[in-house]
Structure 1
Amino acid sequence: MTMGARNRAAEPAPHLEQATPPGRAAALVELLRRNAARTEQDRCVAAENIAALDEAGLFSLTVPQRLGGHQERIRTLVEVSSELGRGCGSTAWTTSLINISGWLIGLYPQRAQREVYAQGPGTRACAALPPHGTGRTADAGSLVTGRWGFASGCLHARWALLGMTLTDERGEHLDQALALVPMDQLTIEDTWHVAGMRGTGSNTLIAEGVFVPAHRILSVTHALQGVYPTEFKDESLYRAAFVPTLALSLAGPLLGLARGAMELVLASLAVGRGISHTNYAQAREAPSSQMQIAEAASLIDTATLHLMRAADDADSWAASGQSMPLINRTRARMDIGTVARCSRDALDLLLNVQGARSFADDSPLQRIWRDLETGTRHAMVNPAIATEMYGRALLGIEDQITPLI
C-alpha cells in the first residue's frame, strides 16, 4: 500500500460524518476544489459554492438556536473552516468570517438579532472591525460615515458590522463601537486587487450619514471586557472572549490550506514521477522527499494541536461563565500565530518536494501558496506580534502593545 493510499484509508468516509458540520464541510471539498480557479478569477466565491454551503447549513453555525441557527462551539467553527480550506482558501475564509459576523450579531440585544434574522437563520453578514468610520450622536442613535476596507464576504452579505469612533454632537470622542447596518444602505467600492485570497471579494464599504439606531450599536470598549448587551446570558457561545474568538475565525482556513497542499503533493507522489537531474525514477523513494513530507506533516499536526487548544480554551472559559484571563488570551493569540507559522513552513517543504512545477499556472499549489502567504499576514494572526504579546504576559509586564487581546 502506498503512503498516499494509507493516508486516504486513515480518513473516515465522508458519509459517516455528514450529520456533523465538519462532516458536511468535508463532503464539499471536491466541489470547492473544482471551483477554486473560477472563484479566484471572478474575485468572488462561486455561486455554486455559496448555494452548497447554504444548503449544508454552514452559514448559520454561530446563529442562536432560538432563531433557527446551530449555535455551535468555537471549536466546530475552526474544524469546519479547516475542512473547507482543503478545497478553497477563499471560500473557507469567506465562510468563516460570515460565521464570525453571526457570532458578533449574537452579542447584540435581541431586537437587533431579530431584525437581522427576520428572513431566516441563513441571513449572511460581513464585518470590517477597525474604527475607520465615525458615528455622530443623533436622536436615539448615530449618523455613521466612513470607508471600511477588507470587508471579506461583503459580496454575499445582507448586513455589515462596521467599526467606528462614537462622538457627541461636538465631535468629541465617546467610545469605540460596531454599527450593524443593512448592506442596501452602503456602497461597495471594488478595491480588492491582490495576489492571494482573491476570491474573498474583500472590497471597501462606504457609508455617508447612515442613521443607525442605538440598539444596533455595540460598544467595543465593553466587549473587550467581556460585557455584551445580549439579554440571553445563559448562552455560553455569546460569552466567549472577544478578541481570541475573532482571531480564531481566521486560523482555520490557514490550516486547511496546508492540509489541502499535503493531499495534493501526496497524490502527485503516488503516481510515481521522478526527480529531474537525479537517478530517482520515483520521487517518493528519495529520502529527501520522505523526510520533507514527514516534517511537513508534523508541522501540520502542530498547527492543528495549537488551533484546537485555543478553540477549546475559548469554549471552556465561555462555558464556565468566567472572564478568560489575560495569560490565556495572549496564549490563544500565540497559538494562532503558531498555526500561521507552521502552516507556512509546512507548505514551503511541500513546494520543495513538488519542485518548480508547483508554480505552473495550472497548478493549484501556486494558488494555495499565494492564499496562505496573504492570509497569514493578517494583523490578527501575525506570529511576531503574538509572540511579543505572550512574552509580555508571561513576564508580568502590564503595559501591552494593543488593547485587542
Structure 2
Amino acid sequence: MADAGDSPETSDDEPPLPERAAALVELLSRNAATAEQDRALPDENVRALQEAGLFGLLAPARFGGHQTDFRTFVRVIAELGRGCGSTAWVVTLINTCQWMVGLLPERAQQEVFGVDPDARVCTVIEPNASSTAAEGGQVITGRWAFASGCGHCQWAMLGIPIVDDAGEQVDQGLALVPMEELEVVDTWFVSGMRGTGSNTLVGEEIFVPEHRILSVSRALRGDYPTEHDDEVLYRSAFAPVLIIILAAPLLGLARGGLDAVLEGLGKDKKIAYTFYADSRHAPSTQMQLAEAAQLIDTAELHLTRAATDIDTWAAGPEYMPEFHRARVRMDTGSIAVRTREALDLLLNIGGAGSFAEANPLQRIWRDQEVAGRHAVINPAIATEVYGRALLGIEDQVTPII
C-alpha cells in the first residue's frame, strides 16, 4: 500500500496530493468567511480544487482519476479542513460519490466519467422518496435534504426504496440521477458549515435504469456490481468508507483552530485581569495548548488507523469483518469527541475574544459543532456498536457498520 508521500497516482514531476492540498490552505482560509456568507463555496475555491485535481481523488484511474487509497485521502481532506471546514466537507463528499460511481457497472461509469472525466457527484443516502417499478428500472419521486455541494455537481446519488411489481419494498438503493432532472431548493440556513450549500433536491417521476441503481443491502456486504473487481479501491468496505470520510474534516478544523490560536499568541496577547502581559508565559496557556494539541494528535492516530484498516482489508481476499468495521465507527466517534474537546480548550485560551466575528476560531467552532453531530458520526451510537462487537452480540443497533 502506497503512502501519501509516494502515491502512485502522482507522477514524478507533480507534488504529492497532500502537498497540493496544503498549497491551497491559505486561499481557503482567506475565502472561508465568503463561503459562510454566501452559503456556498466561492468559485475561486472550486477552480483551485479542480486545477489541483482534488475532485478526482477517488475517481477511477481509467477515466483520469487518482484512485488513491483512503490513508492518502483522509490526509488530503484534513489538510483542506485547516483552511475551510465547508470546503473540506464538500470535497470529501463529492469524492466519496466518485468512489460510489466506481462501484457501479461499467455502463454507468461510462455515462458519468466517460462523458465528462471531471464530472462531480453529490449524494443524499436517506431514502426520502417513493418508487414505482418500471421495465428496466425504477420511477422515483422525492425530496432529498442536505445535499452538500449539490450546486457544483452534474450528478446526484439519491436514496430510494427499491420496489417490486406489486409495489412492495424489496431493498434500499442509491439512484444515480443527472442534476438536470432535479430542482435545487434553497433550504440550507444553519449556524455552522454554512458554506457547504447543503440544499434540498426535488425530483418527480424520474426514470432510473437498473444499471444506475446501487443496492445498499448488497453494498453493505461488499457485493458491488462493478466488473473491475481487480481495482483495490473499489473493494473497500462500504459503511466504514461512508463514516470515516466525515471524520477527516473534523481533524482539519481542529488543526485550523490550533493554527489560529498559535498565531494569536504570537502577538503579545495579555490575559485580562492578571499580571500576565504575554499569555504565552502563563502555565495555564501552556498546559491547555499542549492538551489541545495532544487531543488533535490522538484524533489523527484514530483516523490513520481506521483508514489503514480499510485499505488493508480492501487489498486482501476477504471483506472487512464486522468487528473491524465496528471499530472504524468507534474511531470516527472518538475523533468527533477529541476534536471537540481540543477546540473547547483552544477557546478557553482565547477567552471571550474567541467569539468575536473577526476571529476565525468562532467559525471553526461552529463548523465543528455542526459537522461533528452528523448522524453516522454520533459518538454514543458508535460506542454502543463497538461495545456490542466486543461482547460478540450479533444484534446491532444499526445496519451502517
Give the TM-score taking structure 2 as reference length: 0.96
In the alignment, what sits opposite 2:330? 334
| 2:292 equivalent to 1:296 | yes
In the alignment, what sits opposite 2:283? 287
Between the aligned partners of 2:83 and 2:132, the Cα distance in structure 1 is 43
Stretch moving more, 46-55 or 121-130: 121-130
| 2:274 equivalent to 1:278 | yes
CA positional deviation for 1:47: 0.4
CA 1:54–1:293 in structure 2 vs 1: closer, same or farther (change >3 Å)?
same
Query: 1:28 touches 1:84 (CA, 8 Å); kept in 2?
Result: yes
Residue 345 of structure 2: which of 349, 374, 377 is its match? 349
Query: 1:154 touches 1:203 (CA, 8 Å); kept in 2?
Result: yes
Q: Which runs of 4+ in 1 moved over 3 A?
A: none
In the alignment, what sits opposite 1:103? 99
CA positional deviation for 1:271: 1.5
Q: Which amino acid in structure 2 is aligned with residue 137 of structure 1?
A: A
Q: Which amino acid in structure 1 is aligned with residue 177 of structure 2?
A: V
Query: 1:132 touches 1:147 (CA, 8 Å); kept in 2?
Result: yes
Structural mapping, 1:3-402, within 5 Å: 19-402=15-398
Q: Which amino acid in structure 1 is aligned with residue 210 of structure 2?
A: A
Give the TM-score taking structure 1 as reference length: 0.95
CA 1:33–1:401 in structure 2 vs 1: closer, same or farther (change >3 Å)?
same
Between the aligned partners of 1:139 and 1:326, the Cα distance in structure 2 is 36
Between the aligned partners of 2:323 and 2:170, the Cα distance in structure 1 is 29
CA positional deviation for 1:120: 3.3
Q: Which amino acid in structure 1 is aligned with residue 38 of structure 2?
A: D
Between the aligned partners of 1:98 and 1:294, the Cα distance in structure 2 is 34
Between the aligned partners of 1:321 and 1:184, the Cα distance in structure 2 is 40
Q: Which amino acid in structure 1 is aligned with residue 72 of structure 2?
A: T
Between the aligned partners of 2:37 and 2:196, the Cα distance in structure 1 is 11
CA positional deviation for 1:321: 2.7
CA positional deviation for 1:134: 2.6
Between the aligned partners of 1:271 and 1:85, the Cα distance in structure 2 is 24
CA positional deviation for 1:18: 6.4
SS at match of 1:71: coil
SS at match of 1:130: coil
In the alignment, what sits opposite 1:8? none
Between the aligned partners of 2:189 and 2:165, the Cα distance in structure 1 is 37
Between the aligned partners of 1:258 and 1:119, the Cα distance in structure 2 is 38
Between the aligned partners of 1:274 and 1:142, the Cα distance in structure 2 is 64
Q: Which amino acid in structure 2 is aligned with residue 297 of structure 1?
A: A
Between the aligned partners of 1:251 and 1:135, the Cα distance in structure 2 is 32
**Structure 1 vs Structure 2 CA RMSD:** 1.1
Between the aligned partners of 2:224 and 2:214, the Cα distance in structure 1 is 8
Between the aligned partners of 1:118 and 1:173, the Cα distance in structure 2 is 32
Query: 1:17 touches 1:23 (CA, 8 Å); kept in 2?
Result: no
Between the aligned partners of 2:164 and 2:218, the Cα distance in structure 1 is 18
Between the aligned partners of 2:130 and 2:372, the Cα distance in structure 1 is 29
Q: Which amino acid in structure 2 is aligned with residue 256 of structure 1?
A: G
Q: Which amino acid in structure 1 is aligned with residue 264 of structure 2?
A: S
CA positional deviation for 1:135: 2.5
CA 1:27–1:17 in structure 2 vs 1: closer, same or farther (change >3 Å)?
farther
Q: Which runs of 5+ in 2 are unaligned?
A: 1-11
Q: Which amino acid in structure 2 is aligned with residue 237 of structure 1?
A: L
CA positional deviation for 1:17: 11
SS at match of 1:264: helix
Between the aligned partners of 1:368 and 1:159, the Cα distance in structure 2 is 29
SS at match of 1:380: coil
Query: 1:18 touches 1:27 (CA, 8 Å); kept in 2?
Result: no
Q: Which amino acid in structure 1 is aligned with residue 143 of structure 2?
A: R
For residues 102-124 of structure 1, give each alpha carbon's deviation from its aligned partner in whole angstroms, at most 9, with x where no partner exists. Answer: 00000000000010013432210
SS at match of 1:86: helix
Q: Which amino acid in structure 2 is aligned with residue 356 of structure 1?
A: A
For residues 185-216 of structure 1, give each alpha carbon's deviation from its aligned partner in whole angstroms, at most 9, with x where no partner exists. Answer: 01111111001000000011111010011110
For residues 231-277 of structure 1, give each alpha carbon's deviation from its aligned partner in whole angstroms, at most 9, with x where no partner exists. Answer: 00000100000000011111110100000000110111111111000
Q: Which amino acid in structure 1 is aligned with residue 399 of structure 2?
A: P
Aligned length: 390
Between the aligned partners of 1:373 and 1:286, the Cα distance in structure 2 is 28
Q: Which amino acid in structure 1 is aligned with residue 122 of structure 2?
A: C
SS at match of 1:150: strand
Query: 1:68 touches 1:120 (CA, 8 Å); kept in 2?
Result: no
Between the aligned partners of 1:134 and 1:324, the Cα distance in structure 2 is 32
SS at match of 1:35: helix
Identity value in percent? 59
